[in-house]
Amino acid sequence: MTPRIQQLREQSLNAINRISAERALLITEFYRDHLTPADAVPVQRAKSFEYILSNKTVCINDGELIVGERGPAPKATPTYPEITVHSLHDLDVLNSREKVWFRVDEETRNAYDKIIVPFWEGHSNRDRIMNAMTPQWHDAYNAGIFTEFMEQRAPGHTVAGYKIFRKGMLDIINDIEESMIDLSPVPSPQKSELEAMKIAANAMIRFAERHAEKLEALALVETNGQRRDELLEMARVCRRVPAHAPATFHEVLQHYWFVHLGVVTELNPWDSFNPGRLDQHLYPFYKAEIEAGTLTRDKAVELLESFWIKFNNHPSPPKIGVTAEESGTYTDFCLINLGGLTVGGNDAVNEMSYILLDVIEEMRLLQPGSMVQLSRQNPDSFIDRAVKITKTGFGQPSIFNTDAIIQELVNQGKTPEDARNGGASGCVESGAFGVESYILCGYFNLPKILEITLHDGYDLRTKKQIGLHTGKASELQTYQQLLAAFQKQVLHFAGIKIEGNNAIEQIFMANMPTPFLSLIIDDCVARGMDYIEGGARYNTNYIQGVGVGTITDSLTALKTHVYDEKNISLTDFTDALVANFEGHDDLLYRLLYKTPKYGNDDDRADDRLMEVFQIYYDAINGHVSPRGAEYRINLLPTTCHVYFGKVMHASPDGRRTGVPVSEGISPVQGADKNGPTSVVKSAAKIDHLHTGGTLLNQKFSPVFFEDDTAIRKVSSLVRSYFKMNGHHIQFNVVTADTLRKAQKHPEKYQGLIVRVAGYSDYFNDLGVELQNEIIRRTEHEGVKS
């Protein structure tokens, strides 16, 4: 790491997360003073975008090589009052809460009090949404059956494809004009949309020029000759991109960064934005310049690291309420993809893949997130290098199965070429990069629906009949009856969720088009249709199932004890759950220690998983939204498994009231007893190829990664899981500190695996002396950062 990068990295790490009112004030000024009511909505939006970019602070940080901030300074985070307007109370909560806080200064609070809140209160998109939702929707939402992503943020979850690395804004304006030729001169929605796109493209060119002007001004007063040359070169770059297609390595990075800023300034799409297959996009520029002798590897790394820091300067826009619960993190889920296959279907790993892995390891930043796509065609050296980085214990890069992703996308109707250009974004979501609008709609609480089922549709916590009457516990005489009742409730709530999302989508289509994002994603320009309107080549709405392990183990427990062994009635079982197992130690003991569990390659539990999967898949998959998107499922939680656990009583798997449900497709915390091979075999029984992504988390002690031979064995575990069509796996390499906590609270760490002496074992299964010994050893041999 060069001293410059070290300094920029420190600056980014030390910057205080705070709310900036700048964007909110500018958008308020625009709608109050500069709006032309006769303009079509997309044109109004494009002009508001232009107004922000023309007036926002141009921030150039000392020493940086890639320029442009979303706010006026690093980690000064803008707000989007047209989407959701924060109340003064919200600002106080954001300022003072213990986790994921944002500082709010007096000036910002005043601006909200005097200008922003009075103008937007009752008129934000969130207000429109909440007013449009049915009482049934509100009941289910309040009960914690599902969450809603678009409540505080705009539809996003999309990723740049090849186009933006090959075309400048002027090229895209040419494309817009070509699309306009075919249109009749009469005003039409397409015409307005294309005009709006053109305004947005020009606004972005102007925004880059403002940076060039500032850089030139700084160069004039710069006394250090080397920095002056850098500033002038940066100014040259900003005059060239993103107006023109990038020609150099420096230009391509700056080019993307302006595009990124455009997307996250226009609105606050969930999952910020993402350059996607970065090694593929950058390699041609790198190779050409290395061959021409105009770039060195060291210089390229410095530029990349300067680029990396820009992502870390952007915390996720502030979230409140349920949205903060479901995604309680500063991370904004930009997930850089490396490796995978070329469009022609061959190994795509190149020199840039390895350079970027070096950058990831050296930068060790929360953002951007990174992942490797692993195809069976990729070399072992690639996966080994990636696993070696996970050893440093910060969870990056995660590992994805390219061959499965491609199959998933092809199953959804994409061409093999578009599928191969795709990958995963956000947490684990599959998408065709550059050509798809794939929107996450919210989490769906599967274990909670079983709870509702056991109470004939009644929610004890909110004291309301929110589900269907599918029979009291005493009436569900067979396991098949129970499962059928559960299925009816899932269908019922899936229907409410989908209906809600269809209405929300129409609200966005009418009020919040995104002409800038539409420049980036094909075929919006060709069709003259907005990204949120169905302009993308492919459109998908994902609903993310949560609590797979908990629901599987719960159904297994009910089947085992109520229906097979008949040692307790469903009514008594339900009463014990309401009592949070108080006075039912015997039942709890049997549930925890004498009941099959998912994650052990045991069909007695894993068969239940397949039933749940099919029920959930059938309830969601294939519904079509107003913009023509197909609803599909994926299985991931972010932090929602904690929130979903909070709204639940005890569950039949032995989980106590309020405790988090299981995350992703990982087994219930502590339920897996046979080691990682059994976990991946159980997880592979899910039909991954009919999802849009699943998340499997596996904890390991760092000693599992101690040398190349050990790493090779971990890599082969990944390859095996992927052979079975697993979608994704990530390693949680645990530290001595975690082990100490595990010792104090073994019930929370039952799945923790450590290597003992030549074999692996569960930490919990070891005597306290051995635990102490391993804690000591881990500290001794542990993570060096």
Q: Which residues bind other proteins (CB under 8 A)?
A: 581-582, 584-586, 588-589, 592-593, 601, 674-678, 681, 704, 707, 709-710, 712-713, 716-717, 719-720, 723-724, 755-761, 766-770, 773, 777, 780-781
User: Is 565 annotated in the active site?
Assistant: no
**DSSP string for 325-379:** HHT-SS----EEEEE-B-TTSSB---HHHHHHHHHHHHH--SSSEEEEEE-TTS-
In angstroms, what is the minimal distance from the CB of 348 to other proteins? 22
Q: What is the dihedral of CA 153, 159, 164, 170, to 10 degrees?
A: -20
CA angle 108, 93, 459 (to 5 degrees): 140
In angstroms, what is the minimal distance from the CB of 768 to other proteins? 7
Q: Is 659 left (phi over 0), alpha (psi -120 to 50) or beta?
A: beta
520 close to 163: Cβ distance less than 8 angstroms: yes
Rounded Cα distance between 534 and 201, Å, is: 20
CB-nearer residue toward other proteins: 67 or 650 = 650
Rounded Cα distance between 455 and 445, Å, is: 16
In angstroms, what is the minimal distance from the CB of 764 to other proteins? 11
Q: Is 669 left (phi over 0), alpha (psi -120 to 50) or beta?
A: beta
Nearest CA among 705, 698, 728, 700 for reference residue 372? 728
In angstroms, what is the minimal distance from the CB of 447 to other proteins? 21
Given 429, 505, 533, 630, which residue is catalytic?
429
Q: Is 429 helix (H, G, I), strand (E, B) or coil?
A: strand
In angstroms, what is the minimal distance from the CB of 758 to other proteins? 3
Rounded Cα distance between 603 and 596, Å, is: 9
Report CA Rg, the chain: 26
Nearest CA among 147, 152, 156 for reference residue 439? 156
The identity of residue 438, as a single letter, is: Y
CB-nearer residue toward other proteins: 71 or 726 = 726
The identity of residue 377, as a single letter, is: Q
CB-nearer residue toward other proteins: 351 or 380 = 380
| Alpha-carbon dihedral sign for residues 253, 259, 262, 268 | negative
629 close to 439: Cβ distance less than 8 angstroms: yes
CB-nearer residue toward other proteins: 99 or 745 = 745
User: Is 429 annotated in the active site?
Assistant: yes
CB-nearer residue toward other proteins: 332 or 672 = 672
Nearest CA among 380, 340, 627 for reference residue 512? 627
For the record, the structure tokens of 167 come out as 């075309």
Rounded Cα distance between 401 and 417, Å, is: 17
Nearest CA among 608, 619, 611, 617 for reference residue 488? 619
| Alpha-carbon dihedral sign for residues 65, 66, 68, 72 | negative
CB-nearer residue toward other proteins: 377 or 674 = 674
Q: Omega into 652 within 30° of 0, i.e. cis?
A: no
CB-nearer residue toward other proteins: 336 or 605 = 605
Other C-beta atoms closer than 10 Å to the C-beta of 291 total 9
What are the Cα distances from residue 501, in Å, to 81, 267, 343, 506?
Answer: 21, 19, 33, 9
Tokens 């690639």 appear where?
382
In angstroms, what is the minimal distance from the CB of 715 to other proteins? 9
Residues in the chain: 785
In angstroms, what is the minimal distance from the CB of 738 to other proteins? 20
107 close to 148: Cβ distance less than 8 angstroms: no
Q: 385-400 burial, b for 16+ CB within 10 Å, e for fewer?
A: bbbbbbbbbbebbbbb
Other C-beta atoms closer than 10 Å to the C-beta of 619 total 26
Nearest CA among 581, 540, 527, 562 for reference residue 693? 540
728 close to 400: Cβ distance less than 8 angstroms: yes
Given 59, 238, 427, 441, which residue is catalytic?
427
- Contact residues for 270 (Cβ-Cβ < 8 A; gap 6+): 149, 150, 153, 154, 155, 156, 157, 333, 426, 440
List phi, psi (to 5°) of 544.
Answer: -95, 115
The catalytic site residues sit at 427, 429
